[in-house]
Structure 1
Amino acid sequence: MITVSMGSVSVSGHSVTCGGSQSNLQCGDNTASMSLQVIVVSWANYGRRDKTTCPDGPLHLLSASADSPFTCIHRCNWQNSCTVEAPSSVDPCHGTYEYLEVFFTCQGKLLKQ
């Protein structure tokens, strides 16, 4: 979804990173037209909210989470891009395969070329 008003643009994004993996969050495509866009994380969760996302064997818990998303928020907010990790070494939901889910918007002014 893209919303344009008064010369600024807001683009919504969603990222899911399965346990033990990394993902890159990015606003724009690094061209001059999007260079003033920054990430604003609206919600993040590390754990599990359903049984279909990042399936990996039997699940013992279907709803669990940890404080790990706060690292993602601090690392990514107000940056043009950032790398987020769902570390397999952090196990808030013992016996369950966790994933990092992030909802964010890209905010800032849209530059014309």
Structure 2
Amino acid sequence: MALHLFTPHGFITVRRDRKVWLNGVPTPLPVELPGSLTITEMRTTLRISRAPGFLVELGATGVTVEVPREARATLCGLCGDYDGATGNDLRGPDGMGTSDARALAEAWRAPDFTP
């Protein structure tokens, strides 16, 4: 399992063991990229943040995502669209809704990054 983050300034991969690659090259922490994107490690948590207000935390208990208010209802994916209405969050890339979390995760799986 890995988190892949595409930015205008690079492609970031974070693996479960908290190893980080930038554009395919192993990269020591902390990482600072143009556009106010930083990756830091605090004890057992890896933080990916971008000003203003975008934050992904990867910790032992799971993943936490925060987005700026102006981005809400414009997002899609496994975390929903952040518009505050949970009834429309479980939508695949085709826009179709589902109540099956496994099917949703499979629909969003990136085939070019999945063994």
Q: Given the two structures, how large is their TM-score scaled by the length of structure 2? A: 0.20
Larger helix fraction of residues: 2
Larger strand fraction of residues: 1
State the structure with bigger RCO (CA 8 A, min sep 6), 1 or 2.
1
Q: If you compute each CA radius of gyration, which structure gives the higher value, 1 or 2? A: 1
